[in-house]
Structure 1
Amino acid sequence: MLRVENLQSAYGDSRVLFGIDLAVERGEVVTLLGRNGMGKTTTIRSVFGLLKPRGGRVTIDGEDVTGRPPHLVARRGLGLVPEGRQIFPNLSVEENLIATHRGGRGAKWTLEAVYRLFPRLKERRRNGGNQLSGGEQQMLAIGRALMTNPRLVVLDEATEGLAPLIRDEIWACLRAIKDEGEAILVIDKNVDALARFADRHVVIEKGRVVWTGTTEALRTAPEVKERFLHV
């Protein structure tokens, strides 16, 4: 579904990505791993057109979307849960969700479906985005991405800054989303939690892919964690 080939990006004269290759197929969960500053968020920004690539290709179901504006990339079926959540603080929970809804009758993800996935959002549906805890804001950010009825959900730092119990709740929700048949591309530092439900992993170091493989392969390669993922 999503294919990234030889993706190269820079901020001004500072090169950050030197040829990233990755793919996510339908219904698959893929992680993008690496220490801070290795290019993970830059990869996501480049895929979504938030940063125009200097080279390479991004395709969705074979259609070239390289460097297109973010709203056009989103219309091709990618839903983003950005780093820092970036919800609308002055809108209510329900208004945040309605604001991104896309899809007519028969769409899988509706208000009711999101509320079933996140009962706490239903309880807080009249509260403003700025009245939510960090965990609730992350649930809202995920729900808002789902309301676009994407074919691929992309999460940048899925559980950053959240308490362990809330992290577990987010992981459970991501497993439920996978069970619904959604494809997921996720960035997070909690490798062991990701390995419980992810299919494949892509590890990057200094803007290059240095390892890729299945969860089973990652479990039997402790040197990958030690060399590229431990701080």
Structure 2
Amino acid sequence: MLRVKDLVAFYGASQALFGMEFAVDAGEVVTLMGRNGMGKTTTVNAVMGLLAARSGSVEFEGSRVDALPAFRIARLGLGLVPEGRQIFPNLSVRENLVAAAANRTARQNPWTLARVFDFFPRLGERQRNMGNQLSGGEQQMLAIGRALMTNPKLLILDEATEGLAPLIRQEIWSCLDRLKREGQAILVIDKNVAALVGLANRHYIVEKGRVVWTGTSQALARDSALQHRYLGV
């Protein structure tokens, strides 16, 4: 579904990506993991067309998309839950969701307001509240719901549980597991190894703008030295 090959990107004169390569297939949950500042969010921005790549390629469903503007990439079926949530603070929960609603690929059983509220009952209870009246966990649920309302083929979550209370974090992981069981392809950027090895099919570890390891959850779980080297604080 998504193929990123030899991706190179800069911020001004500073190189941030040094040949990033990874792939996500239909129905898979894949992670990008690594310490802060290693290029994970930069990679997401380059994939979504928010940062121009200097070289390399991004293919989605067999077609190059790295030269397209961000809005056209999104319309192809990539849904982003950005770092920091970035919901509309002066719109209600319902308005945040309706603003993003689309089913451009004529998906069967599409995501609707009713389905999002069933998936996240707390959002249904607070649907008339403004975005800035929600807790951090509720804002993250809203950001995920907003992305789902675009009916994405691939859902990308950047720092899915950062700064959330443990109970809310577990609720988010449970929701992602439900999406996986429904066949939703997901790319997750997060640091919670324990949760991710139980959720994802494959993992890519990023160090200084390039992939330094890739493998299964089983391989990652049993290699404590690898976790300490690339993921430990």
Which category of TM-score, normalised to the shorter sequence, fits these structures?
over 0.9
Q: Which residue of the partner structure matches residue 126 of structure 2?
A: 124
Give, in whole Å, the separation in 1 of the partners of 2:82 and 2:9.
19
Please give the secondary structure, in 1, of the residue aligned with 2:186: strand
Q: Which residue of the partner structure matches residue 181 of structure 1?
A: 183
Asked if the contact 1:107/1:149 (under 8 Å) is kept, the reply is no
Question: What are the superposed Cα offsets for residues 41-66 of structure 1, whole Å, 9 maximum, x if unpaired?
Answer: 00000000100000100010011001
Alignment of 1:157-176 (within 5 A): 157-176=159-178
Please give the secondary structure, in 2, of the residue aligned with 1:6: strand
Name the TM-score, length of structure 2 as normaliser: 0.97
Asked if the contact 1:51/1:67 (under 8 Å) is kept, the reply is no
Q: What is the RMSD computed on CA atoms of the aligned residues?
A: 1.0
Give, in whole Å, the separation in 2 of the partners of 1:105 and 1:31.
25
Please give the secondary structure, in 1, of the residue aligned with 2:53: coil
Correspondent of 2:214 among 212, 215, 221: 212
Q: Which residue of the partner structure matches residue 16 of structure 1?
A: 16
Alignment of 1:39-118 (within 5 A): 39-103=39-103, 106-118=108-120
The structure 1 segments of at least 4 consecutive aligned residues displaced by more than 6 Å after TM superposition are none
State the 1:106 CA deviation: 4.3
State the 1:116 CA deviation: 1.1
State the 1:219 CA deviation: 1.3
State the 1:180 CA deviation: 1.3
- Tell me which moved more, 131-140 or 107-116: 107-116
State the 1:4 CA deviation: 0.3
Distance change (3 Å), C-alpha of 1:72 and 1:227:
same
Letter in 2 for 1:130: N
Asked if the contact 1:139/1:170 (under 8 Å) is kept, the reply is yes
Letter in 1 for 2:90: N
State the 1:112 CA deviation: 1.1
Letter in 2 for 1:55: S
Q: How many equivalent pairs are there?
A: 231
State the 1:67 CA deviation: 3.4
Give, in whole Å, the separation in 1 of the partners of 2:115 and 2:67.
32
Distance change (3 Å), C-alpha of 1:31 and 1:105:
closer
Asked if the contact 2:97/2:113 (under 8 Å) is kept, the reply is yes
Name stretches of at least 5 consecutive residues in structure 1 with no aligned partner: none
Give, in whole Å, the separation in 2 of the partners of 1:21 and 1:93.
36
Give, in whole Å, the separation in 2 of the partners of 1:174 and 1:157.
13
Give, in whole Å, the separation in 2 of the partners of 1:49 and 1:158.
20
Q: Which residue of the partner structure matches residue 31 of structure 2?
A: 31
Distance change (3 Å), C-alpha of 1:123 and 1:198:
same
Please give the secondary structure, in 2, of the residue aligned with 1:22: strand
Please give the secondary structure, in 2, of the residue aligned with 1:85: coil
Asked if the contact 1:46/1:67 (under 8 Å) is kept, the reply is no
Alignment of 1:139-150 (within 5 A): 139-150=141-152
Give, in whole Å, the separation in 2 of the partners of 1:224 and 1:67.
35
Name the TM-score, length of structure 1 as normaliser: 0.98
Q: Which residue of the partner structure matches residue 7 of structure 2?
A: 7
Identical residues among aligned pairs (%)? 64
Give, in whole Å, the separation in 1 of the partners of 2:232 and 2:169.
19
